[in-house]
Amino acid sequence: MNEIRAAFERRGHETYGEGVSQLDHALQCAAFAERDGADAALVTATLLHDIGHLLHDLPADVADSGVDTQHEASGSAWLSRHFGPEVTEPVRMHVAAKRYLATMEPGYFERLSEASVLSLRLQGGPMSETQAAAFAAEPFFADAIRLRRWDEEGKIVGYHGPALDHFLPRVQVCLA
């Protein structure tokens, strides 16, 4: 728990091209997951889905240089030391969920922010239909899609919702 708090304290103030800080984005996404009745594991995954951005020492604007930090893989691996797959798998899969939706949902790509379009390109672009079918068959597919939707929603400049301490009891429940 202290490591999570420390990661947000260290780099949570940084933005990533969306006009909100990493911490504000995480809090908004978790608030929307909670609003929609997600269980503790999915709220925790949603809160921590971008933790990989907080773990490296690369500049906040690294995507502008054409670098994909693969934050979903590093974040999921880091979280797996303390959480089970109900938390780590949606985190690992949330980038693939964007790629899936860009292929399978009409109009999705057009709604992406400029920063999200850039990261999508760096992350492999929209999936092929074969990739999309394989992704849809994976365990935690539905949770990854739900997380992705909150990820897209959680970019509201000036939004005021619950603070990090509000979500930490749910995180605590999920610790392995």
Tens of pLDDT along the chain (176 residues)? 799 999 999 989 988 678 899 999 999 999 999 999 999 999 999 999 999 888 877 656 655 555 555 678 889 999 999 999 999 999 999 999 999 999 999 999 999 988 888 888 888 999 999 999 999 999 999 999 999 999 999 999 999 999 999 999 999 999 97
This model's pTM is above 0.75:
yes
Structure-block tokens of residue 133 = 């079918």
- Assess contact for 25 and 155: CB atoms under 8 A: yes
**Residue 52: what residue type?**
G
> What whole-number distance in Å separates Cα of residue 1 and Cα of residue 13?
19
b (16+ CB within 10 A) / e for 23-38: bbbbbbbbbbbbeeeb
Domains and CATH numbers, the chain: 2-174 (1.10.3210.10)
Sort 65 into a burial class: Cβ within 10 Å, 0-12 / 13-18 / 19+: exposed
